[in-house]
Amino acid sequence: MPDIATVSLDGVAQVVGPVQLNMTFGRHSISVPGIIQVDNSTRLRFASWKWIGSQTPIGFDALTVTVYVRLGMTLKITAVYTTQYRLVLLAQYGEPIGQGWYDEGSSANISLTSEAVSMSGMLGTLAAKWSFKGWFEGASLVTASINSTIAMDRPRTLAARWEPDYTTTVTILAVPALATTAVATVHLSRRKRTPAKSKRVFSKQSHVEYLARLEELHSSGRISARIYSDMKDEYLRK
């Protein structure tokens, strides 16, 4: 029995930890707590009773064992506990699934409701998004899979990390530039068969990166709403 458990005899709490009880002749009940909190991330869960002696307990009721004491009888009863560890899942986006308490040595299935989340503001309307990068424990990558199974051999705190994804945004902005290049190529095909390479795709990507940086400065409070609006309007007029 754990040293931090309190045994109760006939409903009366005894000393903490293993205890030797001198009981009178007759029927008695011995009980222990179902959960013993060690700290915020570790606890003990009652599992079963074990006994040594010539007399077998006459009844069990969850956390309580009932014995009948006879003269000269010696009975050793042990409350067996299982160690449990807490799993904490942190996610800025989506809803984490799988956090809670797990028996030592067991496995936990973890997942997240969203693998990609649209960015807020103007970048979101341009299809920019945050994409799931992986589950991290501190600075270490545990798994890059959004659905995974981890070993609960210790208390664990995993955080979902995200990275910006402008791929769709750049593609959308690049379409008009490609169309313009195609038209120019048709008109010049009689004089020059090799079409000129479009530079507007790259300028569009720089355009997205500039707006993303501007959005970041505004969201973090490093520039005011007025400066943000003026800088964006001035840039879009170019």
Which tens digit of pLDDT belongs to each residue from 166-195?
A: 776 555 555 444 444 444 343 434 444 444
Shared domain check, 93 and 28: no
197 lies in some domain: yes
212 and 233, same structural domain?
yes
Q: Look at residue 177 in the predicted model and tell me its pLDDT.
A: 46
Lowest mean pLDDT among 30-39, 45-54, 145-154, 179-188: 179-188
Position 216 pLDDT exceeds 70: yes
90 domain residue, yes or no: yes
Q: Inform me whether the pLDDT recorded for 54 exceeds 70.
A: no
pTM summary value: 0.65
Could you tell me if 58 and 43 lie in one domain? yes
- In the numeric block, which tokens belong to residue 69? 């004491």
Q: Give the CA distances from residue 102 to residues 75, 153, 215, in Å, rounded to whole numbers and listed in that order.
A: 32, 9, 42
Answer yes or no: do 184 and 222 share one domain.
Answer: yes
Between 198 and 223, residue with greater pLDDT: 223
**Residue 122: inside a domain:** no
Looking at the structure, tell me whether residues 150 and 180 fall in a common domain: no
Note the pLDDT tens digit of each residue in 127-138.
Answer: 778 889 999 999
Of the pLDDT bands very low, low, confident and very high (cuts 50, 70, 90), residue 78 is confident
Residue 124 falls within a domain, yes or no? no
- Identify each DSSP E strand in the chain by its residue range: 6-9, 12-16, 26-31, 35-37, 42-53, 59-61, 64-69, 75-91, 96-97, 100-103, 106-112, 116-118, 129-137, 140-143, 148-152, 156-165
Counting the structural domains of the chain, the total is 3
Q: Is 219 a member of any domain? A: yes
Q: Are residues 146 and 193 in the same domain?
A: no
Per-residue pLDDT for 203 more than 60?
no
Element (H, E) at 171: helix 167-188
Residue 125 falls within a domain, yes or no? no
155 belongs to a structural domain: yes
157 and 109 belong to one structural domain: yes
Within-domain flag for 19 = yes
Q: 34 versus 233: which is more confidently predicted? A: 34
Highest mean pLDDT among 53-62, 100-109, 116-125, 180-189: 100-109
Domain co-membership, 67 together with 15: yes
Q: Which of 60, 98, 58, 104 is nearest to 81 (CA)?
A: 104
Interacting residues of 202 by C-beta distance below 8 A, sequence separation 6+: none
Q: Which residue has the higher pLDDT, 230 or 44?
A: 44
| pLDDT of 98 higher than 90 | yes
**Same domain for 96 and 38:** no
Q: In degrees to the nearest 10, what's the CA dihedral of 86, 90, 94, 97?
A: -10
- Domain around 15: 6-83
